[in-house]
Structure 1
C-alpha cells in the first residue's frame, strides 16, 4: 500500500486513524503542515527510525484497520 516515498500527508488523507499509529512511533508532528510534505523516508530519518521496518509496520496496521 504505502512505501518509503509516500507522503505523510497522503497517509493521513487516506486514513486519519493512522495519526495515532504515527504518534505511537514517536512522530509527534503529524499535525504540522510542513511534515505532511515529508516522505516516510524523510520522516524516519528525522526521527532516527529504520525506514523499511516502519513502512512494513504501517502497512500491517493499515490492514488491521481495514484501510
Structure 2
C-alpha cells in the first residue's frame, strides 16, 4: 500500500506503506551491527575537586521537591 503525499511544491510523492517499511527493516536488520558499548569507569571522589555551585543553583535545587512527590 502506498500513500500519496504532497511535497509542498505541488508534486505528489509516493510513500511506502507501513507494511513495506517493516519488511524493509526486517530484511536489513541482520546487516546492521551495533558497536559494543564500554561503560566509562567511575571517577573516584578523590579526583573530584574544585567544584563550585553558584548560589542561584543551590536555591533552585533546595526549593525542588523530593523525587517522586
TM-score by length of 1: 0.23
TM-score by length of 2: 0.23
Query: Comparing both structures, which one devotes a greater share of its residues to helix?
Result: 1
Query: Comparing both structures, which one devotes a greater share of its residues to strand?
Result: 2
Select the structure of larger CA radius of gyration: 2
